[in-house]
Amino acid sequence: MSDFRTKKKSSVEEARVEHIESYGETEAKTIVASHELTTDTSTDRKAEAQLRWKIDLYVIPTVALLYALCFIDRVNIGNARLAGFERELGLKGYDYNLVLSVFYIAYIIFEIPSNMACKWIGPGWFLPGISVVFGILTICFAFVRDLKTACGIRFLLGVFESGLLPGIAYYLSRWYPRNELAFRLSLYIVMGPLSGAFSGLLASGILRLDHFGSTRGWQMIFSIEGIITVGCSLIAFFTLTDRPETARWLSQDEKDLALARIKRERVAATEVLDGFDRMKIIRGIANPVTLSTACILLLINITVQGISFFTPTVVRTIYPLNTVISQQLYSVPPFIVGAVFTLFFCGIAWRFDRRNVVMLVGAVITGIGYAMFLGSSSTATSLRYGATFVGAAGSFAFGALCNAQVSANVNSDTARSSAIGFNVMLGNIGGLIATWSYLPFDGPNYRIGNGLNLAAAGIIVVIAVLLEIWMNRDNQRRELVDAEQVLSGHNLQEAQDLEWKHPEFRWRL
């Protein structure tokens, strides 16, 4: 990595002159120093590839495990339902849907504040900390005895789980540039469908036990899985590195390269981790791509969370004569297919540095799956079971793709944290809707739930096409803008606060 710090004088001199004209001598020095660093990194592709591989090995496993545990602790209530949870608590009518809904109410309320707290505290402490708490709450859920207590604990579970998915997405944006981010996000998002599959396998294994301590039946699912979460989260305090500068496993040259990889994408940026800035927070949320992508995530989350919570219920209507353990096992394969296609779609997005068109294709596949279910009769068991595979294949990648798209189309670290938080917050409104999409009276055809998912997929197709057209046209318009004229009279801070309105900013498709 000896070539890393070698200067490219002509390029640096051009940057110096350009920024003196725009910002003045003092502020230009800071930008030029960044320009030197970001220019040098492009000369050593081998060093960058080695660094990327090293980050993958040290960062991804811990966050993937935390998200897997989070997802299991969220959806295991679907497995518990098959094991008698509703019957023992005396739940009737829509009580089960209510228990699911309060989780998402908390999730939505605390999404943006949690991501702001993640930036303030630091992901290295924040992410393991909230994981320990929601693990403890999962254990507590094993001892609920009535609807009110169940709703209370699920609400608290939503409070503490709300920070994990957007927090990890924000955390990974500290390590990876935009073209690499979608696939790395998929490496933890894929733990959602894998955990959904594993949750069914784990529940079927746990239910074979006579008891675990003082817990029996469905209670064992929560107590055992909660203990596993707490144990792994405590270990994460020691394995999760907050940011490149504090990574003991990186050399100084590697730390500089890691920072330069991020900085070179950020228009007018002089630092990777900026302080809180109200204007940047607002611009991160009021970004047209953030708003559009968040709507897409809202719509697809109706499907994703519906699959997560109700697949065991749907499988029970397809194979009503099977044993509970058999029904649990039948709920596993659709999640595995969803996991495979998550990696496939995000790998394509990484290869071509395109996310919007991949979401368009995923929405079409999802719509086909629900059209299959709606067009079949209750006796067409193989077709209906196959439809659950198609729906899962098209939908699970959106969590990674949407967060990557939002992250790619903001500039500063502060804007990124607010944009990702807003994206996931709006997305989880879809999760709230999903809790009421599969209602008891609507089985076994579930025309309301499946029709809603089909309609959502269709709307996503429309949004994705319109967004693709608008981003291309706006980039063409920006090419005709005189950046020097627009920036005249702006100091460095004012130029940074422009965010996506900066004349040199370009939308990333």
Residue 333's pLDDT is: 86
Backbone torsions φ then ψ of 489, nearest 5 degrees: 90, -5
For the ranges 262-266, 303-307, 357-361, 427-431, which has the lowest average pLDDT?
Answer: 262-266
User: Is 181 or 495 the better-scoring residue by pLDDT?
Assistant: 181
In a domain, 43, yes or no: no
Query: How many domains does the chain contain in total?
Result: 1
How much is the pLDDT for 166?
A: 84
Kindly state whether residue 75 falls inside one of the protein's structural domains: yes
Reported confidence tier of residue 359, pLDDT bands at 50, 70, 90: very high
- Comparing 31-45, 239-253, 372-386, 457-471, the range with the smallest average pLDDT is 31-45
The pair of structure tokens assigned to 3 is 């070539």
385 compared with 363, residue with greater pLDDT: 363
pLDDT of residue 111: 83
In the predicted model, is pLDDT for residue 384 greater than 80? yes
Closest CA to 259 of 175, 185, 171: 175
Q: Does the pLDDT of residue 456 top 90, yes or no?
A: yes
Inter-residue contact 449 to 455 (CB < 8 Å): no
- Residue 344, C-beta contacts closer than 8 angstroms, at least 6 positions apart: 397
Longest dimension (CA), the chain: 78
Q: Return the pLDDT at 344.
A: 92
Whether the upstream peptide bond of residue 444 has omega within 30° of 0, thus cis, is yes
* Range of the structural domain that residue 426 is part of: 64-243+277-501
Mean pLDDT in residue range 353-376: 91
pLDDT band with cut points at 50, 70 and 90 for residue 371 = very high
Check whether 6 has a pLDDT greater than 70: no
- Higher pLDDT pick, 421 / 39: 421
pLDDT band at 457 (very low <50, low <70, confident <90, very high): very high
478 vs 356, higher pLDDT:
356
At 211, give phi and psi (nearest 5°): -165, 165
Cα distance between residue 375 and residue 378, in whole Å: 10
Structural domain includes residue 9: no
Q: Can you tell me the mean pLDDT for 239-245?
A: 85
pLDDT in tens, 188-223: 888 877 776 777 777 778 888 887 888 888 888 889
Q: Which two tokens stand for residue 404?
A: 């990557």
Residues 6+ apart with CB under 8 A from 411: 266, 267, 268, 269, 496, 499, 500, 502, 505
- pLDDT value of position 463: 95
The predicted model gives 343-364 an average pLDDT of: 90
- 3-class SS shares of the chain: helix, strand, coil, % to 5: 75, 0, 20
Q: From residue 243, how far is each of 121, 125, 138, 495 by CA, in Å?
A: 12, 11, 29, 26
Query: Does position 131 have pLDDT exceeding 50, yes or no?
Result: yes
The number of C-alpha atoms within 13 Å of 77 and in the hemisphere containing its C-beta is 29
* DSSP H helical ranges for 353-446: 356-374, 381-395, 398-408, 413-434
Confidence band, pLDDT 50/70/90 cuts, at residue 8:
very low
On whether the CB atoms of residues 279 and 493 are closer than 8 A, the answer is no
The confidence score (pLDDT) of residue 361 equals: 94
Spell out the alpha helix ranges (H) of 9-146. 9-23, 25-41, 45-82, 85-89, 95-109, 111-121, 123-141
pLDDT tens digits, one per residue of 93-121 = 888 888 888 888 888 888 888 888 888 88
Tell me which of 33 and 503 has the higher pLDDT.
503
Nearest 5°: the CA angle 166, 180, 163 is 10
Percent of the chain with pLDDT over 90: 19
pLDDT at 270: 52
Instruction: Give the position of tokens 């710090």.
Output: 5
Asked if residue 443 has pLDDT above 50, the reply is yes
Q: Is 250 among the domain residues?
A: no
pTM of this structure: 0.73
The pLDDT tens digits for 261-294 are: 877 766 555 555 555 567 777 878 888 899 999 9
Which element (helix H / strand E) includes 463?
A: helix 447-479
Instruction: Tell me, yes or no, whether 35 lies in a domain.
Output: no
d(CA 176, CA 30): 23
Between CA 364 and CA 394 the distance in angstroms is 7
pLDDT for 37 equals: 44
Whether 436 is covered by a domain: the verdict is yes
Residue 44: inside a domain:
no
Contact 259, 244 (CB under 8 A): yes
Q: Is the pLDDT of residue 465 over 90?
A: yes
Residue 202 has a pLDDT of 79
Check residues 505 and 405 and name the one with the higher pLDDT.
405
Average pLDDT of span 404-427: 83
Answer yes or no: is 57 within a domain: no
Give the dihedral sign, CA 304/309/312/318. Answer: negative
Between 347 and 23, name the one with better pLDDT. Answer: 347
**Range from 42-46, 198-202, 223-227 carrying the lowest mean pLDDT:** 42-46
Backbone φ, ψ for residue 212 (5° rounding)? -135, 105
Q: What is the CATH number of the domain that holds 184?
A: 1.20.1250.20
What letter does residue 440 receive in the DSSP assignment? G
- Give the residue with greater pLDDT, 266 vs 333: 333
- Share the mean pLDDT of the chain: 81
Nearest Cα residue to 327 out of 192, 443, 194, 200: 200
Residue length, the chain? 509
Residue given tokens 């935390």 in the structure block: 66
| Residues of the chain above pLDDT 70, percent | 86
| Residue 169, amino acid | A
**Confidence check: pLDDT of 3 > 60:** no
